[in-house]
Amino acid sequence: MAVSVTYRLNIFGFGASSDILAAQDPVTTGGLNFGLRDQKVALEWISRNISAFGGDPDRVTLGGQSAGSVSTHTHLRETTCAVGSPFRKAPLFRRVLLHSGTLGTLGPSALADREPGWKRMYEALFGPGTYDMSSPKQRVARLREVPASLLLTASKSINGEVFPVVSDGITVTELSSYLDAPSQLAVDLGPVDLRNLPGRSPSKGIDVLIGVTDLEVKCAQTLKSEDLALNEIEAKFEAACGNAALCAELLQSYGLTSSATSEELKQGLMMLMSDAMFEVPFHVTGKALRDQQQVGAIGQIQAFHVKTGNPFPGPFEGVAHHCVELIYLFEAFHDAFVEADNGNARPYTDPSEEFLKVQKVTEVNGTITPPKVQDETLVAVTADKVGTTDAIAYKRTNIELSHAMQDFWLDFITTDDWVAPGGPESVFVFGKDRGSEMENTADNPDWQKRRQRWDLLASDPETMSRLCNTIRQG
């Protein structure tokens, strides 16, 4: 049984300013992060009512991807941060799925950092200089009279419409940077008054399935190789770091050296962005979960990693980008999978300029026919690999991989006595060849290099953030 939750988004769910707090009733101040509060109300409703639909309130799995995963992690944090407190409530879920997002990926942001965007939005609606002409309560009153469509348009003034969880000191309190000290983050989304909520016995520790894709930041694909020069990259890194030794180590770790080609420089920058925005928070959260596991707040933990690339022709073919696992997990492109497995891969979006170039190559070289299956291994040659030997020996068809991913997740969700298939140093990998296997990160050179990069970035979160901003700005 699946339940999809509707909650407030954008400015309505995650808009943040001290103006909103000032306008709230001082006796019943609810804080910010309204979207998270909506989600909690939904979880309480499920706990109370799901049995009427044939569900079991003691067997709820909460899951999310990207921003949804950040929300899921926030609810997990609320459930587990008060271990040992006599006021601790029984969890509203027994397991969580964290896909490509944790606290540290998208927030928590400081409330003070959100104020400039709030002011820009207000003045986009009412004109330059109007912000300082009114009190906080007056500003909120005026905004409440603005049609929702205009608020959405004006909200583009705030961080490009990105609305992370905010540390407001009420619903979310970050005593120290999450990446520096994850145990210092407290969450209290407040009580929910649903009458006749059935009592439940305390649950055992909450099981966690957590993972990321190999190159989350596909937007960094927009970096143009021909525009990249090492001396400019070095200068920007030095300005962002403020630490010559750290700067040199980062450049070396990501292959940003004199021997690198322009394309390799691009790949190194994309890797750094992906690590900083997704892999490092994943790494820090994994450590924090294992610490909580020792005191019983967290049960079984299994990490996963998706290296399988996008199967469809286009600029991201073969890239294990953000959301790529959803292509397989929900099998929304079943017919396209069947065509691709039969050697007729088609793009699922409007053709880009890059794909149009591929089409021209295809016309010159004729129709691509995949080789016959040999030893039950599929050898696939995609259109943009014409004339090269860059072929991957696939262990599964796309359909078979889709079903393997589904089985992996369904086993986690439905098996009552589920036990993590790997140990604390293991990660379940969906490979580039569409195969899957458990890898031991402790004795694997590739994983050791990854962890060294993550630890390097995590050693200075502020520098990591400045580097990301520098790369985004080009």
HEC sequence for 359-404: HHHHHHHCCCCCCCCECCEEEECCHHHCCCCCCEEECCCHHHHHHH
358, pLDDT greater than 70: no
Contact 12, 34 (CB under 8 A): yes
435, pLDDT greater than 70: yes
Task: Count CB neighbours of 271 within 10 A.
Answer: 21
357, pLDDT greater than 60: no
3-state helix, strand, coil in the chain (%, to 5): 50, 10, 40
Per residue in 111-149, is it b (16+ CB within 10 Å) or e — as a string? beebeebbbbbbbbbbeeeebeeeeeeebbeebeeeeee
Structure tokens at 58: 């003691």
CA–centroid distance for 326 within its chain? 12
| φ and ψ of 415, to 5 deg | -75, 115
Q: What is the mean pLDDT of residues 87-102?
A: 84
- The residue among 101, 121, 116 whose CA lies nearest residue 12 is 121
446, pLDDT greater than 80: yes
Provide the pLDDT for residue 166: 94
Q: What is the mean pLDDT of residues 238-257?
A: 90
The three-class DSSP label of residue 317 is: strand
Q: What are the residue ranges spanned by the domains of the chain?
A: 10-203, 218-473
| Better-predicted residue by pLDDT, 129 or 356 | 129
**C-beta contacts of 263-269 below 8 A and 24+ residues apart:** 263/225, 265/225, 265/228, 265/230, 265/233, 266/223, 266/224, 266/225, 266/228, 269/220, 269/223, 269/228, 269/233, 269/471
Tens digits of residue pLDDT in 18-53: 999 999 987 776 899 999 999 999 999 999 999 999
Provide the pLDDT for residue 46: 94
Q: What is the mean pLDDT of residues 362-381?
A: 40
Contact 2, 146 (CB under 8 A): no
Contact 319, 312 (CB under 8 A): no
Provide the pLDDT for residue 390: 53
Provide the pLDDT for residue 215: 92
Provide the pLDDT for residue 101: 94
C-alpha–C-alpha distance, residues 156 and 459, integer Å: 33
384, pLDDT greater than 60: no
368, pLDDT greater than 50: no
401, pLDDT greater than 90: yes
161, pLDDT greater than 90: no
Provide the pLDDT for residue 378: 40
Which of 140-149, 238-247, 411-420 has the least mean pLDDT? Answer: 238-247
Provide the pLDDT for residue 352: 45
Nearby residues of 226 by Cβ (< 8 Å), 6 or more positions away: 262
The three-class DSSP label of residue 85 is: coil
Q: What is the mean pLDDT of residues 156-185?
A: 83
C-alpha–C-alpha distance, residues 244 and 238, integer Å: 7
Provide the pLDDT for residue 190: 83
| Better-predicted residue by pLDDT, 226 or 189 | 189
Provide the pLDDT for residue 457: 92
C-alpha–C-alpha distance, residues 96 and 77, integer Å: 11
Provide the pLDDT for residue 6: 94
| Model confidence band, residue 90 (pLDDT cutoffs 50, 70, 90) | low
351, pLDDT greater than 50: no
179, pLDDT greater than 90: no
Residue type, 433: D
Torsion (CA) 76, 79, 84, 87 in degrees, nearest 10: 170
| Better-predicted residue by pLDDT, 118 or 389 | 118
Provide the pLDDT for residue 7: 95
Q: What is the mean pLDDT of residues 409-422?
A: 94
Provide the pLDDT for residue 342: 92
| Model confidence band, residue 474 (pLDDT cutoffs 50, 70, 90) | low
369, pLDDT greater than 80: no
Structure tokens at 199: 């009592």
Which of 289-293, 358-362, 433-437 has the least mean pLDDT? Answer: 358-362
Mean pLDDT of the chain: 84
Identify the CATH homologous superfamily for domain 10-203: Alpha/Beta hydrolase fold, catalytic domain (3.40.50.1820)
C-alpha–C-alpha distance, residues 331 and 321, integer Å: 17
Q: In terms of residues, how long is the chain? A: 474
Provide the pLDDT for residue 472: 76
- DSSP string for 186-215: EE-------TTPPP-PPP-PEEEEEEEETT
